[in-house]
Amino acid sequence: MKNTSELNNWKIAVASLSLIAVWAVAVRQLSLEWSVNPLYQYGWWVIPLGLYLFFERIASAPGKEETPRNRVLIGLVGLFILIYIPLRIVQEANFDWILLNWVFGAFALSVTFLWMHSSLGKAEMWHFAFPVLFVLSSIPWPVGFENLVLQNLMRINATITAHVLSWGSLNAVAHGNIIEVGGEMIGVEEACSGIRSLQTSLMMSLFLGEFYRLKVKSRIFLLLLSFFLAFVFNSSRTVVLTYIGATEGLFSLESWHDPLGYGVLVITLFGLWGTAYWYSLNQETKDIGNQTVSSWFRDIRLPNYSIKVFSALIIVLVAGEFINELWYRLREKTLVQAVDFSVDFPRSAENFREETFSEITRKILKYSEGNAASWTGPEGNRYSAYLLEWEPMRVSKKLVLAHTPEICYPAAGYKMESLVGIEPFQFDGVSINFKVYLFRENSNHFYVFHGVWEEKHLPSDNIHETEPLSRQQRIETVLQGKRNLGQKILGISIAGPNSIEEAESILERTLKTIIIPSHVQST
């Protein structure tokens, strides 16, 4: 009997270690979004909240039972074991890939459900399903869907704000996510970014519905209410911030932006809590049981087949780290250092003005260094340029991809006419690929050149790719051994040229006057 008990304890230890390891792997992937994306910073709380809900359900657990092997779960976990090592190698160069968030999330959930099915039985597996699946609320939405929802909400928010202020003494006009009022242009990062509490509110509605064990209809209503409250209170916040910006100046927004944002979040959560509590008072109270946590854990038994799967999982997770490091170290030896550069804006130019990024923008983009300026050229064209730099780190690529003309300019009220193409630039060893865009502001057109520079590349590379967004480009990055590279964004908009050929010619002349290669700096 003692040997049997010791053997079961050993099985539980192995299974627990595999669970901890696989969730650590999932959190490592998700932590990038939780750290750098304000929309999902609440993600750090989701797993602790899910564990709390799990332990709350122990008292009412229906009881453990022996069940036949679940071949679907075993096959799914087995598939993840087979593909984990190549998946880990792909992950190392692509921590920003949203698809991997869902893949590693599914990996952790599959292992957890296999553990529950094999050790607790089918009934208890479904009993604990919601607390386990609750983690899905912290996984970022697909990019296309997220942009569709949030950008449209931002525009509606800005339009409502403009109408509300116009009813008063201020004449306000919405341009995309930009609100023009009192001679000031108040941007999305100053006034409208409070919609970020939408995902937090949705997550809390799920938590409160489970916490109070509400009926399905009540939970659905709570979910819809979270969306409504988040939008209404954030629209009110936008009105207040825009009024402050118009009457007291844009500089005053930074002191109000975060306090009002947190205030809106607290009010929204209190509204959800009050509604959930009211629903709980008006539904029949169920006996939640009296099983203790200690007695529940003592009854856990693991079959032999599951321990083989969990042991294989641990071996593969450990091996994956060694093979991943070996893969990149061997390939990094073939990479060469790209010629670095800095930018010296033409301070003597007509109408030259050095621009500053708001504290809110710096918090969102988390760049190491940033400079921006605008000026008028001798030919009468109007220029606006910026240089953002990120030191080598795991999140640099993610942050670079968060700042693109497709996202920022439409949000500022400009209409994107077309993506013209790619314009390569080479000067004194510096190589950059620029994506060329044509935008319109009312009846005026202007060109935007957006280039991304990476600190290392293969000897055969003539120029750097701008943004490894496609699946093929991401796999090529893995094969080349590129990871954690320092990044720079150089963006220049030119208003005045009558054709793309004229704009490209002006760009080349301008870059040769403002770009300073690193070897020239050292000289």
Residue 191 reports pLDDT greater than 60 = no
Does 475 reside within a domain?
yes
Burial class of residue 342 in the structure, from the number of CB atoms within 10 Å of its CB (0-12 exposed, 13-18 middle, 19+ buried): middle
Q: Under 8 Å CB-to-CB from 294, ≥6 apart: which residues? A: none
Does 293 reside within a domain?
no
State the pLDDT at residue 162. 81
Task: Give yes or no: residues 310 and 352 share one domain.
Answer: no
Q: Of 188-202, 289-303, 421-435, which gets the smallest average pLDDT?
A: 188-202
Task: Give yes or no: residues 126 and 196 share one domain.
Answer: no
Task: Give yes or no: residues 313 and 418 share one domain.
Answer: no
Alpha helices in 120-249 (DSSP H): 122-127, 129-133, 143-167, 188-191, 197-211, 216-248
Residue 195 reports pLDDT greater than 60 = no
Does 21 reside within a domain?
yes
State the pLDDT at residue 177. 67
Residue 503 reports pLDDT greater than 50 = yes
- Torsion angles phi and psi, residue 238, rounded to 5: -65, -40
Work out the average pLDDT over 251-280. Answer: 85
Q: Shortest CA distance to 138 belongs to which of 199, 54, 226?
A: 199
Binned at pLDDT 50, 70 and 90, residue 436 comes out as very high
Distance of CA 151 to CAs 178, 188, 272, 337, 411, Å?
A: 12, 10, 24, 38, 7
Rounded CA separation 355/358 (Å): 10
Task: Give yes or no: residues 80 and 99 share one domain.
Answer: yes
Looking at the structure of the chain, the number of domains it has is: 3
- What's the whole-number average pLDDT of the chain? 84
Residue 442 reports pLDDT greater than 90 = no
End-to-end CA distance of the chain: 80
Task: Give yes or no: residues 218 and 103 share one domain.
Answer: no
Domain span at residue 405?
336-522
Work out the average pLDDT over 489-502. Answer: 92
Task: Give yes or no: residues 461 and 483 share one domain.
Answer: yes
Residue 284 reports pLDDT greater than 90 = no
Residue 287 reports pLDDT greater than 70 = no
DSSP per-residue string spanning 48-66: HHHHHHHHHHHTT------
Q: What is the pLDDT of residues 364-398, one digit of tens each?
A: 677 888 899 999 998 899 999 999 988 877 666 66
State the pLDDT at residue 394. 67
Q: Are 413 and 175 in contact (CB under 8 A)?
A: yes
Does 416 reside within a domain?
yes
Tokens standing for 503? Answer: 């704009």
Task: Give yes or no: residues 379 and 493 share one domain.
Answer: yes
Q: What is the pLDDT of residues 307-351, one digit of tens each?
A: 889 999 999 999 999 999 999 999 888 888 888 899 999 999 999
State the pLDDT at residue 184. 64
Task: Give yes or no: residues 135 and 164 share one domain.
Answer: no
Binned at pLDDT 50, 70 and 90, residue 273 comes out as very high
Helices (H) and strands (E) in the chain, counts: 19, 14
Q: Are 222 and 275 in contact (CB under 8 A)?
A: yes
State the pLDDT at residue 298. 83
Percent of the chain with pLDDT over 90: 40
Task: Give yes or no: residues 327 and 402 share one domain.
Answer: no
Q: Are 396 and 456 in contact (CB under 8 A)?
A: no
- Please tell me which residue, 471 or 86, carries the higher pLDDT value: 86
Burial class of residue 509 in the structure, from the number of CB atoms within 10 Å of its CB (0-12 exposed, 13-18 middle, 19+ buried): exposed
In the 3-class helix/strand/coil scheme, how is 243-257 assigned residue by residue? HHHHHHCHHHHHHHH
Please report, to the nearest 10 degrees, the dihedral formed by the alpha carbons of residues 189, 192, 193, 194 taken in order.
140
Task: Give yes or no: residues 311 and 363 share one domain.
Answer: no
Residue 188 reports pLDDT greater than 60 = no
Q: Are 455 and 362 in contact (CB under 8 A)?
A: no
Task: Give yes or no: residues 358 and 457 share one domain.
Answer: yes
Does 290 reside within a domain?
no
State the pLDDT at residue 182. 65
Does 369 reside within a domain?
yes
Written as one letter, the residue type at 294 is: S
Residue 521 reports pLDDT greater than 60 = no
Does 289 reside within a domain?
no
Q: What is the pLDDT of residues 101-154, one digit of tens each?
A: 999 999 999 999 999 998 888 999 999 999 999 999 999 887 777 777 777 777
Does 328 reside within a domain?
yes
Q: What is the pLDDT of residues 63-80, one digit of tens each?
A: 878 778 888 999 999 999
Task: Give yes or no: residues 244 and 343 share one domain.
Answer: no
Strand-pair partners of 67: none
DSSP per-residue string spanning 197-219: HHHHHHHHHHHHHHHTT--HHHH
